[in-house]
Structure 1
Amino acid sequence: MTARSFVFSLTAFFVFLPVAAIDAALDQDFLDMSLEDLLQVTVVSASKKEERLLQAPLAISTLTGDEIQRAGATSWGEALRLLPGLIVREQASGNFDVHVRGFDNVPPDSQLPFLANTLTLVMIDNRIVYNYFAGGTFWETLPVGLQDVKAIEVVRGPASPLYGPNAAAGVIHIITKKSEADGWHSSIHVEGGQDQTQLASLRSSYRTERFQWQLTARHEGRERTDSTYYSLVEGRDVASALDLVEFDTRQPSPLAPIRFPDQALAQDNQAATMLFQFTPNNEWRYDLGFGFEESEVQKAYFENGLTPLNTATSETRFVDFRAEKGGFRAHVAWLQGDQEALGVAGWAWEFDTLDAVLEYDHSVNDQFSIRPGLSYRKATYDGVFIAGEQDMTTVAASLRAEWNPSETMRVIAAVRADQYDTPDTTEVSTQLAVSYSPDEKQNLRFTYGKSNRAPFIIDTFQDTAFTTPTGLLFELRGNRDLDPLTSESLEIGWRYQPSAKAQFEVEAFYARNENYSDVNLIFAGPDGEFFRTTGVFDNLPVEPELTGATLSLTRSITETSYVRAFVTLTDTRINDHIKPPDTPPGGDGPPPDGDGGPPPPPPGLPPRELIDLNEGATPEFYGGIIFDQRFNKWHFNLNLYTYDGGVMKQVIEQIDLESKIIANTKLTYTFGKRGEVFLNIRNLNDDDAREFLYTDRIGRQVLGGFNLRF
């Protein structure tokens, strides 16, 4: 069965099954089952307050920790494939790139860091874990694991008015478990199998009426499923990283042993966290958390000129404090660490980020409430690429208002102003959501949002030059006057829950982005003894547009089984993209003037040509199906994820990605009241097509393990 035929079957499933599900739910008296609890779950990320998922005013989905465990997910990427509206691509075993709805590989023909998703904000219990050096999220550096998850909530669409910059395309909020009963409680998870996969985690907690303590620790080790590397210079796979050649000498790179000290390694992670929660009376609550992580992975993020993969290391630590009383919330988070792309010139840095938030939720009357807020963020980075220590400070004020003119209607308006010190500008994010519930079974919504993405350290402060043995000189400079990227989105949606046994949802959306940035070549030609190439970060004219729809359905089949299916259909237009030159730039003219004004076009640089593209890496469809069945002490789960093929373009190379289906299954047996053993098969159908730009081919993997609770 091909991926394209699968999507036709999935579409037919959506066309006919909702009617059958609704009729069955209305006419048949189903017995109680766990699905009922899943459909009654509450969420907090859509409004920053607890509410039923059915009534949430934004496009949001949630995945519980129990669902993650039943499905057998072993990594953040595998877990996120269980949610609608997410494009998830695996680069090496356990290492993923994740996009919300689309804008994958936009703009094309860019360097590797710009292929990663930088438009989505990831949080752990409201603590931001965004990387400000070049944007995005380093998933391997998260200090918590899947066994610690209570729920993952995904907001699709701009959410900066609620959560600040970098929530331009959405929010992925990881909510961790807390003890729900007094006394000591512990759990152990151990899993292993092919490719030297080793997964182990421990949770232990103690709770009284006023106090709670919790400890988590985990280890994750994986080897690559592929032994080759793709040479960007030669355009072919080579057997070893030591066979990768430099683009100017065509000789093996002397840096390869540094960049790839362990060619078999996919990832090696260790992390631990500790939480203290104190409730001295019925009004105040204090949380203090801290932790660390150490990781070494191979992933595609750093441009080394040889191959997409590179080894990256990270050592980070955090402290997280919050105080709450009634509608008041104070939150201070500190993150510090050292990160490096081994052997890649300049890609090593120390960093320190501080976030502080004050919010107050005030009900004016039964129909109207407001939530004013203030926030402060300072990100400090120190590295060779940026000529030492540099920092960015953002101060923001926000206001969210909710009006309930009747029991069936909600009107929500939010605005946030972020004052950046570099560039010196104030960016305003806005959101308007209108929600209407004609009855308890359905909810209709309309949402408009405008969000922005904060400038990156490297785009702003880069100041580096390096030479090659053959006389090439490369200069890269940042730009302190870049306009922050902005995203505007419109959305309409409908949720229908005819009973506790079925729910259907459809949403249609449109989004447009502007003010992307990348290196703009301003000189290429002879300069003394060198052939000099100089580039400066600048805003691009490109304005991509994304139009699409997401459909999802959850319904029971029997009293002990249910199915969940979802699909997203998209159409991407990339307007005013700068066409790559057909020939390498070069010339005999002098360097551009240094008068501070716009440099004149130097000799040898081709004129800028803008083109429109109707295709890209964002799949035209992607989605999945989950089937869950329990019987006595056994539990069976089968889940599939699929996406359409497309073209992914990097500055040197491009790849035609194939359509792909990934099927996973897990069989669990419960012994006693506190133990489980399981067999877990990932990529059951052994589809090893590459998912990212010439990264690893990842096929079937068989794992086994056990869980203990005491």
Structure 2
Amino acid sequence: MLQKKYIIVFLFGLIALSGAAQQSPKNIDLITREEVLEMSMDDLLSYDLADVIKLMELVGASSMEDLYELLLNKDVTSASKSAESVFDSPLSTTVLTYDEINASGATSIEEALRLVPGVIVREKTNGNYDVHIRGGQNMPMNNVLLYAENTTTLVMIDGRPVFNYGMGGILWETLPVSLGELDRIEVVRGPSSALYGPNAVNGVINLITKDITQDTPLVSANFQGGTQSTYIGDFSISKKLNDKISAGFSTSYEQRDRNTDEVYALYDDKFLSLADYQQRRIAEGWSSEDIYEMIEEPNRAKEKMGVNAYIYFAANTKLNFNLSGGYLESEAMTSTIGDTPTPYNVRNAQGYFINLAGKIYGFNLQASLNNIEQDLSKGIKGWKQDTEQYNVHLDYLFKWDKFSFRPGLSYQSVYYDDREHIDFIGQGFVNGREALRNYAVSGRLDYNPTEKIRLVAALRAEKYEVPDKIIPSYQFISSYKINENNLLRAVYSRANQSTFVVDAYSSYIWSSEGLSSPEYIHFMGNPDPSMMTMDMLEIGFRTRPTRKILIDIEAFYNKAKDYSALMPDSMRTVVYSDPTTIAPVTSVYESYRPLDLKSKQYGLSISADMVLSEKLILKAHMTYQKSTVDNFQDANMFDIANRQGNAYIPGMTDDIMQYITYVQSGGTMGSNIPPQPSYSSAIQPDPSTFKDDVDNEAIPSFWGSVALTYKPTAKLSVNAQAYYYDKYNLYTMYDAQESRLALGNLNYTGSMEAKFLLNAKVSYKVNDKVNLFVNGRNILNNDKQEYIFMDNIGSLYFAGFNVSF
């Protein structure tokens, strides 16, 4: 992939040289009204005052304030699947345009989401992030880090779901698009499964790529390079070939190094440097090749490459199709999702996607295929799978006088296959090819009894094959437009998680190499898993006290239940007849079980967009939230398992002995894994360990951002952004042990300090084709950890350019 980087950098350099010629803004007499409404603030400020007045007349704006309002209040489609202004949207919705993202200096899609109210973003290693909408994760607490991942937000690219159904969540590094390819990011906060299906529990993030119009530049490129060997760039060619056909091609590349090459591993309940860990293991007889081959480049944080192609065909206004496809490769060092000795985990992926979206005489069709080979823990057998994900959705919009109704049908199938990546049955998670399928019918009714009142009801019924159930989701929305500048809204909604492959189909023996005990853990799936559901009540108020200011306030309360998680069923220690020769071996048996946990959360978000003058724009937001848990078992998995830790001496035919022999012999006992042992008694809950109203502090209670854009001239732009989050506590099953070593400034206790980040970008517009900039991220070099076990994240500095012609 390194050769690809240098080729792309070379292409960017050639494009920058070819685009150096001056070009004036488009002739004012040739601009259409639609083109004015698509302008950014940068475009507007490239004209003199006389021309700006003509633009105002063209769109019917009576003042500069009216024109600013038109440019700030963009349309959004994700909230209702129909275009409407952000101000009129009945849901908590934010539209983040490409111009806002570019001005902010954000270097990735995840970092750009720090500009969105209610979204908390924390960096793990350079360019790898943890992203949550409102929070409420880490359920159950005191478990593996997997449950701290965001598995309740649905991410889409042009309406195509890119959710990972293996273990749930978003593999952000596998997104094949870059910031330069986006037109906007639309974020809907709150349960939205009634519109978009399962896993839109906390919200939806829709990444929308740029349209190809007559005015789209033929060639565009963006590149920036900086400290920690960080290179980020994209290149695209787009052309409207005629009135019916448009085509485009784009590619992107990203490489990032860590600010250290240290990797720590857990040995005898203490963290050691990787070098010390390897020495200990070699002394025990391990070969160097067997020790963490997945950490091949400990200084590399991220490397990804994407290629995309687009074809748009419009026979007429009622019949058009958009076909896109692409290929991606990625590798990222991030936090572990398993039970490895090191908290660092390298995962990689490669594959392709195809997406078809069309309008067919009133019908809206979307069909997509994601085919990805992914390795969720590089170097460890059993974590690599071939995945296929098929999604089809068809709906039709009926319109009457004051009513609109959109019925729809959906189908999804997800296949996970690890047969090509394991040596024997039992070495993989699913040990074969397994599928999850679900079908859905949906309907959305939109009614405007008066000009001021709007009522919306959406219902979706999802039929799952695993488990064999029908799960409903719904939204009931009302809004009252007090006047043109004030809107009051209320939402009640329900959404659910889907089943994940690992929950339903796991049959895996894990050699817990870095722990003193247990030595083996056997994971078992559950063919009838529970699926978490969330109910939310939200009250919102939008106001424009002046044409230059838009304020949005949203208060929310939600309750979630029906969690399931990997929990210990039993533990046994095998003591050999000659313990001086063979040490005792402990095995834990775990399965995905429903939990009687109940989560409650309430919170408040406030955001404000202000055009303070023709040269100064201010955007700010803040969120406060508090999450609590009922029926919480105050014990980690080891504590629970140890309650059944009775040692005994088995015979050679004992079923536990079969397990151990089977694993140690490489699966030569036969083609099938031995049956799971049965015991006269399993682990029973201890009522004294259950508590109510326990704080879930895995998400900060407060976070927010302030972004200021100043344009002293038409060519010069200065952007400063401050981001702050409060302290939080992300407890797992490991971090409370005082015997662990804290190496350097790294924190293994689970308690993360508050952090303040200051970013700045200065851009100079050479002409309409070339823009040069310098960019500083975390310029105060506040290098506190942002996520448990992960890197100290300090400053990054870049220089770069944007080119289009």
The normalised TM-score by structure 2 is: 0.81
Q: Which of residues 635, 638, 643 in structure 1 aligns to 2:717?
A: 635
**CA deviation string 1:127-160 (max 9, x = no partner):** 0000000000101000100001111111100000
| Letter of the 1:691 counterpart | E
Assess, with a 3 A threshold, how the Cα gap between structure 1 residues 620 and 289 changes in structure 2: closer, same or farther: same
| Letter of the 2:136 counterpart | F
**Which residue number corresponds to residue 394 of structure 2?**
358
SS of corresponding position for 1:122: strand
- The answer to whether the 8 A contact 2:569-2:590 is kept is yes
**Which residue number corresponds to residue 321 of structure 2?**
286
**Which residue number corresponds to residue 95 of structure 1?**
128
SS of corresponding position for 2:544: strand
Q: Percent identity?
A: 30
**Which residue number corresponds to residue 410 of structure 2?**
375
Please report how far the alpha carbon of residue 301 of structure 1 lies from its aligned counterpart in structure 2 after TM superposition: 3.8
Inter-partner Cα distance in structure 1 for 2:593 and 2:445: 37
**Which residue number corresponds to residue 8 of structure 1?**
none
Assess, with a 3 A threshold, how the Cα gap between structure 1 residues 244 and 480 changes in structure 2: closer, same or farther: farther
**Which residue number corresponds to residue 677 of structure 1?**
772
Please report how far the alpha carbon of residue 237 of structure 1 lies from its aligned counterpart in structure 2 after TM superposition: 6.1
- The answer to whether the 8 A contact 2:265-2:273 is kept is no
Assess, with a 3 A threshold, how the Cα gap between structure 1 residues 250 and 370 changes in structure 2: closer, same or farther: farther
Inter-partner Cα distance in structure 2 for 1:604 and 1:354: 41
Q: Highest CA radius of gyration, 1 or 2?
A: 2
The count of aligned residue pairs is: 681
Q: Which of residues 252, 272, 275 in structure 2 aligns to 1:218?
A: 252
Verify: 1:616 aligned to 2:701, yes or no: no
- The answer to whether the 8 A contact 1:241-1:260 is kept is no
Mean Cα deviation higher: 459-468 or 265-274: 459-468
**Which residue number corresponds to residue 392 of structure 1?**
436
**Which residue number corresponds to residue 755 of structure 2?**
660
Mean Cα deviation higher: 477-486 or 241-250: 241-250
Assess, with a 3 A threshold, how the Cα gap between structure 1 residues 689 and 360 changes in structure 2: closer, same or farther: same
Inter-partner Cα distance in structure 1 for 2:278 and 2:484: 62
| Letter of the 2:689 counterpart | E
**CA deviation string 1:238-294 (max 9, x = no partner):** 544663689999998864441201001011111110010001123200111100100
Assess, with a 3 A threshold, how the Cα gap between structure 1 residues 229 and 668 changes in structure 2: closer, same or farther: same
Q: Which of residues 526, 538, 555 in structure 1 aligns to 2:573?
A: 526
Please report how far the alpha carbon of residue 414 of structure 1 lies from its aligned counterpart in structure 2 after TM superposition: 0.6
SS of corresponding position for 2:180: helix
**Which residue number corresponds to residue 523 of structure 2?**
476
Please report how far the alpha carbon of residue 366 of structure 1 lies from its aligned counterpart in structure 2 after TM superposition: 1.4
Verify: 1:706 aligned to 2:790, yes or no: no
| Letter of the 1:321 counterpart | L
| Letter of the 2:359 counterpart | E
Q: CA RMSD in A?
A: 2.7
| Letter of the 1:424 counterpart | D
| Letter of the 1:702 counterpart | Y
**Which residue number corresponds to residue 15 of structure 1?**
none
Verify: 1:542 aligned to 2:601, yes or no: no
**CA deviation string 1:616-671 (max 9, x = no partner):** 11111011100011122100000111111111112212411000011110000010
Verify: 1:405 aligned to 2:456, yes or no: no
- The answer to whether the 8 A contact 2:397-2:405 is kept is yes
Q: Which of residues 108, 114, 134 in structure 2 aligns to 1:81?
A: 114
**Which residue number corresponds to residue 309 of structure 1?**
344
Verify: 1:569 aligned to 2:664, yes or no: no
Assess, with a 3 A threshold, how the Cα gap between structure 1 residues 299 and 513 changes in structure 2: closer, same or farther: same
- The answer to whether the 8 A contact 1:639-1:664 is kept is yes
Mean Cα deviation higher: 33-42 or 258-267: 33-42
| Letter of the 1:696 counterpart | D
Q: Which of residues 100, 112, 134 in structure 1 aligns to 2:167?
A: 134
Please report how far the alpha carbon of residue 305 of structure 1 lies from its aligned counterpart in structure 2 after TM superposition: 2.3
Q: Which of residues 401, 419, 436 in structure 1 aligns to 2:480?
A: 436
**Which residue number corresponds to residue 465 of structure 1?**
509
Please report how far the alpha carbon of residue 184 of structure 1 lies from its aligned counterpart in structure 2 after TM superposition: 5.8
Q: Which of residues 308, 311, 318 in structure 2 aligns to 1:276?
A: 311
Please report how far the alpha carbon of residue 40 of structure 1 lies from its aligned counterpart in structure 2 after TM superposition: 1.8
Inter-partner Cα distance in structure 2 for 1:56 and 1:114: 32
Please report how far the alpha carbon of residue 165 of structure 1 lies from its aligned counterpart in structure 2 after TM superposition: 0.2
Q: Which of residues 507, 524, 529 in structure 1 aligns to 2:554?
A: 507
- The answer to whether the 8 A contact 1:241-1:256 is kept is no
**Which residue number corresponds to residue 602 of structure 1?**
682
Please report how far the alpha carbon of residue 330 of structure 1 lies from its aligned counterpart in structure 2 after TM superposition: 1.1
Inter-partner Cα distance in structure 1 for 2:676 and 2:126: 47
Assess, with a 3 A threshold, how the Cα gap between structure 1 residues 608 and 290 changes in structure 2: closer, same or farther: farther
Inter-partner Cα distance in structure 2 for 1:422 and 1:533: 26
Q: Which of residues 439, 453, 458 in structure 2 aligns to 1:414?
A: 458
Assess, with a 3 A threshold, how the Cα gap between structure 1 residues 184 and 191 changes in structure 2: closer, same or farther: closer
**Which residue number corresponds to residue 25 of structure 2?**
none
**Which residue number corresponds to residue 5 of structure 1?**
none
| Letter of the 2:86 counterpart | L
Please report how far the alpha carbon of residue 325 of structure 1 lies from its aligned counterpart in structure 2 after TM superposition: 3.0
Please report how far the alpha carbon of residue 343 of structure 1 lies from its aligned counterpart in structure 2 after TM superposition: 2.1
Q: Which of residues 81, 93, 110 in structure 2 aligns to 1:60?
A: 93
- The answer to whether the 8 A contact 2:566-2:592 is kept is yes
Assess, with a 3 A threshold, how the Cα gap between structure 1 residues 660 and 128 changes in structure 2: closer, same or farther: same
Assess, with a 3 A threshold, how the Cα gap between structure 1 residues 251 and 649 changes in structure 2: closer, same or farther: farther
Inter-partner Cα distance in structure 2 for 1:526 and 1:566: 54
Q: Is there any run of 5+ residues in structure 2 with no aligned partner, and where?
A: 1-61, 419-427, 577-584, 657-673, 736-748
**Which residue number corresponds to residue 587 of structure 1?**
646
Inter-partner Cα distance in structure 2 for 1:475 and 1:597: 11
| Letter of the 1:465 counterpart | I
- The answer to whether the 8 A contact 2:144-2:339 is kept is no
Q: Which of residues 219, 224, 228 in structure 2 aligns to 1:191?
A: 224
Inter-partner Cα distance in structure 2 for 1:65 and 1:307: 38
Assess, with a 3 A threshold, how the Cα gap between structure 1 residues 176 and 474 changes in structure 2: closer, same or farther: same
Inter-partner Cα distance in structure 1 for 2:84 and 2:767: 35
SS of corresponding position for 1:386: coil
Inter-partner Cα distance in structure 2 for 1:284 and 1:483: 42
The normalised TM-score by structure 1 is: 0.91
**Which residue number corresponds to residue 4 of structure 1?**
none
- The answer to whether the 8 A contact 1:520-1:536 is kept is yes
**CA deviation string 1:469-504 (max 9, x = no partner):** 899332110001111110110000000013331011
Inter-partner Cα distance in structure 2 for 1:630 and 1:64: 18
Q: Is there any run of 5+ residues in structure 1 with no aligned partner, and where?
A: 1-28
| Letter of the 1:523 counterpart | S
Please report how far the alpha carbon of residue 185 of structure 1 lies from its aligned counterpart in structure 2 after TM superposition: 1.5
Inter-partner Cα distance in structure 2 for 1:266 and 1:326: 48
Q: Which of residues 148, 151, 163 in structure 1 aligns to 2:184?
A: 151
Inter-partner Cα distance in structure 1 for 2:80 and 2:534: 20
Please report how far the alpha carbon of residue 81 of structure 1 lies from its aligned counterpart in structure 2 after TM superposition: 0.4
**Which residue number corresponds to residue 729 of structure 2?**
647
Verify: 1:118 aligned to 2:151, yes or no: yes
Inter-partner Cα distance in structure 2 for 1:202 and 1:56: 34
| Letter of the 2:605 counterpart | T
Inter-partner Cα distance in structure 2 for 1:686 and 1:241: 28
Please report how far the alpha carbon of residue 588 of structure 1 lies from its aligned counterpart in structure 2 after TM superposition: 3.8
Inter-partner Cα distance in structure 1 for 2:213 and 2:512: 60
Please report how far the alpha carbon of residue 685 of structure 1 lies from its aligned counterpart in structure 2 after TM superposition: 1.2
| Letter of the 1:322 counterpart | A
**Which residue number corresponds to residue 17 of structure 2?**
none
Inter-partner Cα distance in structure 2 for 1:171 and 1:466: 34
Q: Which of residues 136, 140, 160 in structure 2 aligns to 1:107?
A: 140
**Which residue number corresponds to residue 427 of structure 1?**
471
Mean Cα deviation higher: 691-700 or 587-596: 587-596
SS of corresponding position for 2:87: helix
**CA deviation string 1:311-353 (max 9, x = no partner):** 1110020011122035311111001011112123411111101
